[in-house]
Chain A
Amino acid sequence: DVKVTQSSRYLVKRTGEKVFLECVQDMDHENMFWYRQDPGLGLRLIYFSYDVKMKEKGDIPEGYSVSREKKERFSLILESASTNQTSMYLCASSHRGEQYFGPGTRLTVT
């Protein structure tokens, strides 16, 4: 079974803090994605990566950056967390179009 793990299930941070969300997949997938999920808005793509050190902006990249130094790991960085970044963050990897999701990190910024 494909496994996608995320470093934390719940996270509470203060406004202005730098936040790192880590995602690891164990199936050697080339494509990895970061989404945020908000009620009524579905999943919105923040960034994706199709290879090591390669990244593409998604639909809502503002306020976020990413890092992919190894194939299995894709990190989402909030340079200076703000309250409007309180959300559920989902990581996924994909193979032939099918996306495999991690359990999510519920981030609260106070």
Chain B
Amino acid sequence: AQSVTQPDIHITVSEGASLELRCNYSYGATPYLFWYVQSPGQGLQLLLKYFSGDTLVQGIKGFEAEFKRSQSSFNLRKPSVHWSDAAEYFCAVGDGGYQKVTFGTGTKLQVIP
């Protein structure tokens, strides 16, 4: 069965600092990987996705993520965090049939001035 681990429940960064959110997955074949963001009181929005090809994927709002098969990881990064990035971030892995997606437990990001 597929699974996702987000080891950091809560992260605090200063505005302008760099950010890396960790995600490790377990899946028997080539995974389909996603990062979603949920701002306070808002629905979930897709930040980026990896299906195949280039292991460094670019997303919206200046985010990127790198797929590392050897480490079973798909970490999310941003070079300079803005106060509006404060939100909860979810990593997810999907099966090859584009159907079932399993989400991690989320990482809540706090941005301090």
Contacts and interface: CB of A to CB of B under 8 A. Distances in A.
Contacts of B34: 97-99
B105 A41 contact: yes
Given A97-B34, A97-B98, A90 B43 contact: yes
B5 to A, nearest CB: 11
Interface in A68-110: 90, 92, 94-104
Contacts of A44: 103
A102 B101 CA distance: 16
Interface of A: 31, 33, 35, 40-45, 48, 50, 56, 58-59, 90, 92, 94-104
30 contacts: A40-B105, A41-B105, A42-B6, A42-B90, A42-B105, A43-B44, A43-B90, A43-B103, A44-B103, A45-B100, A45-B102, A48-B100, A90-B43, A92-B44, A94-B98, A94-B99, A94-B101, A97-B51, A97-B98, A97-B101, A98-B34, A98-B46, A98-B49, A99-B36, A99-B44, A99-B101, A101-B43, A102-B43, A103-B43, A104-B43
Contacts of B63: none
A101 B9 contact: no
A50 B95 CA distance: 14
Given A41-B105, A45-B100, A48-B100, A97 B32 contact: yes
Contacts, number: 58
A13 B85 CA distance: 35
Interface string B35-52: 010000011111001010
Contacts of B46: 98-100
B98 A96 contact: yes
Interface centre among B42, B90, B103 (most CB of A within 10 A): B103
A92 B92 CA distance: 14
Contacts of B44: 43, 90, 92, 99, 101
A60 to B, nearest CB: 12
A43 B11 CA distance: 19
A103 B42 CA distance: 7
Nearest to B101: A99
A102 B106 CA distance: 18
